[in-house]
Amino acid sequence: MGRVTLQTIADRVGVSRMTVSNAFSRPDQLSASMRERILAVAEELGYVGPDPTARALANGSAGAVGLLMSDTLHYTLTDEVAMAFIAAISDELAPTGLALTLLSAAPRGEGIIPARDVAIDGALVYSCDMTSPAVGWLLRRQLPLVFVDQSPAPGITSINVDDRGGARAAADHVLTLGHRRIGIVTSGFGGDYGILDDPRTATLAFGESERMLGWLDALDASGVTPTVARIPHGDPHGVGYAGAEALLAAGEPPTAILAFSDAMAGGVIRAVEDKGLSVPGDVSIVGFDDNPIARTMRPALTTVRQDIDAKGRSAVQALTAAIERTKAQTGGGRAKHVLLPTSLVVRDSTAPVS
């Protein structure tokens, strides 16, 4: 027995296929009694409802949006901040009925490239390398896109966080506490590793670079030159640990360390304590993100808070708006560039220099 389609039901009931379609998709187009008859027969034949694929083709919308994340999907998926972002997205997406499809940027497979071959109505591009082929495909497909935590591109709506301002606030905070020997621990793909000679000229990823600029804004203004340790991307705890070790080994140890993320700050704390120093007694530490773990860490971590929920929600709103516009053929609708604020959250990992 072949598959049950609208036609199967139509034949059985003795009406046109269109009427059956209406019974499911536009109930106001037929009489209640007819609708009931049709639904009864459908039920009897085990028909679940119009086939999503066929429906998608006919009315030109897939019912899903894509989420493209960095090549290292695995790392991203074990990162609390990224997860909170996805959670916010899914919350905001739920009432729209759109599903969220994860697109891996690294097409390890043969010829199948999700960013090119998966049916979606639009996509969020989160913290990706612009030169990635996956981003290229999305652009070529002319899909509505929203860039998040990426270098804003002309014509494409972007949602960013004031990383620079937040980093500046973090550095100002330790400066105000009297610290002058300040270390920085950061991490990323490619570029230079180890103790950086000149962090201003180093090749850094977008977010990393913004935070670096913020830290340096404040430090330069006070005439302080930080020691910067940059570790290859990897497990954040390990990265933070290695970074702190490098800083503590390099000449006079810092009395304050600014970390690229809270996850890395956790490793920094551990390394400092393993060295026999106390936090914040001997070394003050500031993280970034206000990861949930920052609050449960011991000592509770001073950090720069970004509103991840707002980030996810704005991104979805911008995307759904763009999808609407595309559907309505309303051409323009200029790309917006949103910058969400950050704020310093002072907890127990920072103290005046002793």
Partner DNA sequence: TCGCGCTACTGTACCGGTATAGATACATTG
Partner DNA sequence: CAATGTATCTATACCGGTACAGTAGCGCGA
Give the binding-site size for its own copies (rule: CB under 8 A).
61
Give the binding-site size for DNA (rule: CB under 7 A).
30
Nearer to its own copies, 214 or 266 (CB): 266
**Interacting residue with its own copies among 54, 130, 221, 346 (CB under 8 A):** 54
Nearest-approach distance from CB 189 to DNA, in angstroms: 35
Exposure b/e, 228-241, CB count within 10 A at least 16 = b: bbbbeeeebbebbb
Q: Is 348 buried (19+), middle (13-18) or exposed (0-12) by CB count in 10 A?
A: middle
Tell me how far CA of residue 156 lies from CA of 91, 149, 150, 303, 331, in angstroms: 23, 13, 11, 30, 14
- The one of DNA, its own copies, none whose footprint includes residue 334, by CB under 5 to 8 A per kind, is none
Rounded to 10 degrees, the C-alpha dihedral 309/310/316/320 comes to 150
Assign residue 300 a region: left if phi > 0, alpha if psi is -120 to 50, beta otherwise? beta
Residue 57 touching its own copies (CB under 8 A): yes
Q: How many whole angstroms separate alpha carbon 222 and alpha carbon 160?
A: 27
Please work out, in degrees rounded to the nearest 5, the angle formed at the alpha carbon of residue 59 by the alpha carbons of 55 and 60: 105
Residue 240 touching its own copies (CB under 8 A): no
**Interacting residue with DNA among 1, 3, 155, 329 (CB under 7 A):** 3
Nearer to its own copies, 111 or 223 (CB): 111
Residue 9 touching its own copies (CB under 8 A): no
Q: Which residues pair with 195 in a beta bridge?
A: 229
Residue 112 touching DNA (CB under 7 A): no
Nearer to DNA, 25 or 203 (CB): 25
Comparing CA positions, the residue from 230, 281, 298 lying closest to residue 258 is 230
Nearer to DNA, 7 or 203 (CB): 7
Residue 19 touching DNA (CB under 7 A): yes
Nearer to its own copies, 53 or 225 (CB): 53
From the list 72-80, 154-162, 244-252, 339-347, the region that binds its own copies by CB under 8 A is 72-80
- The one of its own copies, DNA, none whose footprint includes residue 101, by CB under 5 to 8 A per kind, is its own copies
Residue 342, SS3? strand
Residue 64 touching its own copies (CB under 8 A): yes
State the binding string over 167-206 for its own copies (x if CB under 8 A, else -): ----------------------------------------
Residue 228, SS3? strand
Per CB under 7 A, which of residues 296..315 are in contact with DNA? Answer: none
Per CB under 8 A, which of residues 280..319 are in contact with its own copies? Answer: 292-293, 296, 298
Q: How many whole angstroms separate alpha carbon 50 and alpha carbon 146?
A: 30
What does the DSSP assignment read for 266-319? Answer: HHHHHHHHHTT--TTTT-EEE-SB--HHHHHSSSPPBEEEE-HHHHHHHHHHHH
Which pairs from 43-49 meet CB under 8 Å and 24+ separation? 45/4, 45/8, 45/9, 45/12, 46/4, 47/4, 47/5, 47/8, 47/9, 49/24
Nearest-approach distance from CB 27 to its own copies, in angstroms: 10
Nearest-approach distance from CB 123 to DNA, in angstroms: 18
Tell how far CA 183 is from the center of its chain: 27
**Interacting residue with DNA among 17, 141, 325, 336 (CB under 7 A):** 17
Q: How many whole angstroms separate alpha carbon 14 and alpha carbon 354?
A: 89
State the residues that interact with its own copies by CB under 8 A.
46, 48-49, 52-57, 60, 62-64, 66, 73-74, 77-78, 80, 83-84, 86-87, 90-91, 93-97, 99-104, 106-114, 116-120, 137, 140-142, 237, 266, 270, 292-293, 296, 298
State the residues that interact with DNA by CB under 7 A.
3, 5-7, 14-19, 21-22, 24-26, 29-32, 34, 47, 50-51, 53-55, 57-60
